[in-house]
Structure 1
Amino acid sequence: MAYELYYWDGLQGRGEFVRLALEDAGADYVDVSRGAKKDGQGTGAMLTIMNSKTEPHIPFAPPFLKDGELIIPHVANILQYLGPKLRLAPKDEGLRYVAHGLQLTITDMVCEVHDTHHPLANSLYYEDQKDAAKKRAKDFIENRVPKFIGYFERVLAQNPHGDTQIIGNTTTYVDLSIFQVVEGLHYAFPRAMKKFGSLYPRVTALHDAVLERPNIAAYVDSERRIPFNESGIFRHYPELDQDA
């Protein structure tokens, strides 16, 4: 039975971190919200599960994954579940917790990326909080990107088993997620990221190695890969970008 991924249609968002793992593994999955209503899919199918009064384990928000009767919410939780099944997690059980910790750190960073354009409230339009967004984006570029990416750079440098893997000597879902973060940062802040490669050579090498993986390369060039846009987590507003 195919995995069912539930996320908003028309944007990469947090759902993309799960898609990358499924695509890399060549897994059979359905992106439910992108399907047709006549096939029992579409956004309505997702909302039906979220608003169910009978489902005992309703998710708070997408993305969530359905594997048979099991519903798994939250990106890091989904990837921890899928990792061993897709051969994208360390074989050692202890290292799987290390991988999960790294993914949770990515989750923290993604939250801060979102807050660069919505620093005051999710319910407000970007245009209603633009001044605060400029201040938040400036701090994110100057302080938080070096903090997070610098950390991943150090972890890569201290991994004795792989040159372009952040943990062990095989690619994991964490590597795929770091790839997505790097892609998103370059889309959202192209001016600020001009020196990214020289500042973070190991993270850049990891990104490039992931892009060379056949299934990822095919996915990135396919219509299945929704382009970055200003409805997602990584948004490009020129006024928020600056030279680092």
Structure 2
Amino acid sequence: MTYEFWYWNGIPGRGEFVRLALEAGGIPYRECAREPGVQASDLVADMTADRDSPPFAPPYLVAGDMTISQTANILLFLGERHGLAPADLAGRLWINQIQLTIADMVAEAHDVHHPIASGLYYDEQKAEALRRAGDFRGQRMPKFLGYFERVLARRGDWIGGGDRWTYADLSLYHLVDGLLYAFPRRMATLARDYPGVMALHARVGGLPELRAYLASGRRLPWGDGIFRHYRELDAG
């Protein structure tokens, strides 16, 4: 089966967590919103089409008669169906737990630059963003990264505890990559405290399964998405 994958064109966003799993797993898919002639309005039309289980927002995956939305939910599905997560129920729930924790940090990273409303421009909430950034850098980044460090210290090279990556490892890679882009000075200071997390970032970045994708134009650069770099929001 070739899946139909829908996400906004032009930004990595939450869709990149799904793309990494599809690419690393060698899973056939169509990036529908990036196909020639497809506009953002086409995505909206497809998303709002009459379905028994309509998605709230991208990303979503069409798998035959099923439409699966929400990043962690899509990955839970792909993990079980394509061996990107442990085979046992406890293992799959554990990997989903990590994915949901990653999603929590992703949401907080976004809210650094949009702490009041996503419908307002950054410049309209800059004072609040400066205050939010200080708390995120000083309190939230160490809290989340410290948790992932403890997990890896107990589990080994991979979050699942086995000898192969899971989709949660790919997602942690993308999270760390986004933090390195958005908060380079803060991450330069924090990196020494979380060697396990940084080693996982390097391991995933060097996976043979991802080499071609990461070097291709299909891997979108960071920009005006979840992770944004504003110099005034970053500090060591």
Please tell me the TM-score bracket, short chain as reference.
over 0.9
What code does the residue aligned with 2:154 have?
A: Q
Verify: 1:103 aligned to 2:136, yes or no: no
Structure 1 residue 227: deviation in Å? 0.3
Structure 1: give runs of 5+ residues left out of the alignment.
none
Structure 1 residue 64: deviation in Å? 0.6
Check the 8 A contact 2:18/2:74 in 1, yes or no: yes
TM-score of the superposed pair, with normalisation by structure 1:
0.93
What code does the residue aligned with 2:161 have?
A: G
RMSD (CA atoms): 1.1
Structure 1 residue 4: deviation in Å? 1.2
SS at match of 2:54: coil
Check the 8 A contact 2:114/2:129 in 1, yes or no: yes
Tell me how far apart the structure 2 counterparts of residues 16 and 201 of structure 1 sit (CA, whole Å): 24
Verify: 1:5 aligned to 2:2, yes or no: no
Structure 1 residues 22-33: aligned runs within 5 Å: 22-33=22-33
Tell me how far apart the structure 1 counterparts of residues 229 and 212 of structure 2 sit (CA, whole Å): 25
SS at match of 2:119: coil
Tell me how far apart the structure 2 counterparts of residues 107 and 14 of structure 1 sit (CA, whole Å): 9
Q: Deviations over 1:71-94 (max 9, x none)?
A: 000000000000122321011111
Percent identity between the two aligned chains? 49
User: 1:51 aligns to what?
Assistant: 48
Q: Deviations over 1:20-66 (max 9, x none)?
A: 000101111111111123xxx443332112222x3221111111111
Verify: 1:235 aligned to 2:228, yes or no: yes
Verify: 1:124 aligned to 2:120, yes or no: yes
TM-score of the superposed pair, with normalisation by structure 2:
0.96
Of residues 97, 108, 111, the one that matches 1:112 is 108
Per residue, is there more helix in 1 or in 2?
Answer: 2
Number of residues of Structure 1 aligned to a counterpart in Structure 2: 235
What code does the residue aligned with 1:220 have?
A: L
Structure 1 residues 10-159: aligned runs within 5 Å: 10-37=10-37, 41-52=38-49, 54-159=50-155
Tell me how far apart the structure 1 counterparts of residues 144 and 150 of structure 2 sit (CA, whole Å): 10
Check the 8 A contact 1:189/1:242 in 2, yes or no: yes
Verify: 1:195 aligned to 2:192, yes or no: no
